[in-house]
Amino acid sequence: MSMASLPLLSPVKEKPLVGIARLAAHGESLRQGHDVEYFTLPVRSLLNRCTSARMPFTWTINPYRGCEFACKYCYARYTHEFMEMRDGVDFERKIYVKEHAAELLRQELRHVKTGEEIAIGTATDPYQPAERRYEVTRAILEELARHRGLEVGIVSKSNLMLRDIDVLQRLAEHNQLFLNITVTTLNADLARILEPRAPRPDLRLEALRKLTAAGLNAGVICAPVVPGITDSPRDLEMLVKSTAEAGGKYIYANPLFLKPCSAAVFLPFLEKQFPQLVESYRERFNSRAFLPQAYHKRVSQLMARLRAKYRFGNEFGRYSRRSHPTQSEEQLSLF
């Protein structure tokens, strides 16, 4: 067949970007640093309503999209897929900074009713390295501190939260505030490979000590508990004991779950760092994202015994759980 007789092919039209994907495509590059790029994200709303009955809070706020801490198990990698970014690593390398956050929140808080909880940091860490420069989280807290009667929970792995003790104290004066520090292990070397760019565990516990000393309600969320890596009774007891010694008001633990976007990053990591566990993980997560209920029950019962041993009270349980759900609850809702 000659070239002249070949049929002409129409150019393939790319599907137009819509919603958050279109906004992300129009974001301006801010700067780069150690394989991380920062972009503006001109969002139209900051306060997101949770419509699922499984969610223990009513509203979420995420000051950024993506998280530089690069935790290997992170479930929130799926959020970059909404921006048509399918490589799970993009979540930790392309960080989007939400513009005009405080101004948006000021307009939207009128929708929040008494008793409706606001969770900050459910799909990104609000105190990741970008916060040192852009201070979006601090601006949000400043706005929240102008109001009364709110219930607010913050989740973070970062001791940068200490920078904002002044505004956190003002926020707590007329609102219910719970500060959840995530600690998965006290082993600094293990934490470094699981959570490559997050602050060391000892720095997080020192932050907990200072937050509680400042009169703030703060505790630990051990999330996730990683089978065969961080779930030994001895290691969990050390964490509970250290939390008690730091003055933590509560501690809870939530087992690992793996959706495809997370497994695409976590399983290759496992093959490199813990090859002896690969086969058991493939069996456990072959056709499901969640560990069996028997595993959840064992972890829950162990943590209940340890909380009793180290004399954690129950007065903060309802609010801390509402400020930050178990991962299984959150994932069932999101997916």
In a domain? residue 216: yes
In a domain? residue 2: no
81 Cβ contact partners less than 8 Å away, ≥ 6 residues apart: 261
In a domain? residue 246: yes
Helices (H) and strands (E) in the chain, counts: 14, 11
pLDDT in tens, 203-259: 999 999 999 999 999 999 999 999 999 999 999 999 999 999 999 999 999 999 998
In a domain? residue 177: yes
- pLDDT tier at 52, thresholds 50, 70, 90: low
pLDDT in tens, 89-121: 899 999 999 999 999 999 999 999 988 999 999
In a domain? residue 137: yes
| pLDDT score at 80 | 65
Map residue 168 onto helix, strand or coil: helix
Give the rounded distance of the alpha carbon of 34 from its chain centre.
Answer: 22
Instruction: Output the domain CATH number for residue 108.
Output: 3.80.30.30
pTM as predicted: 0.85
Radius of gyration of the chain (CA): 21
Encoded tokens for 295: 């595993």
Structural domain containing residue 188:
46-60+101-334
Contact 41, 97 (CB under 8 A): yes
Contact 221, 180 (CB under 8 A): yes
DSSP class of residue 285? Answer: T
Structural domains in the chain (count):
1
| pLDDT score at 313 | 84
In a domain? residue 28: no
In a domain? residue 69: no
Residue type, 211: L
- Tell the burial category of 188 from Cβ atoms under 10 Å away from its Cβ (0-12, 13-18, 19+): exposed
Contact 87, 28 (CB under 8 A): no
Contact 247, 321 (CB under 8 A): no
The number of beta carbons lying within 10 Å of the beta carbon of residue 80 is: 25
In a domain? residue 89: no
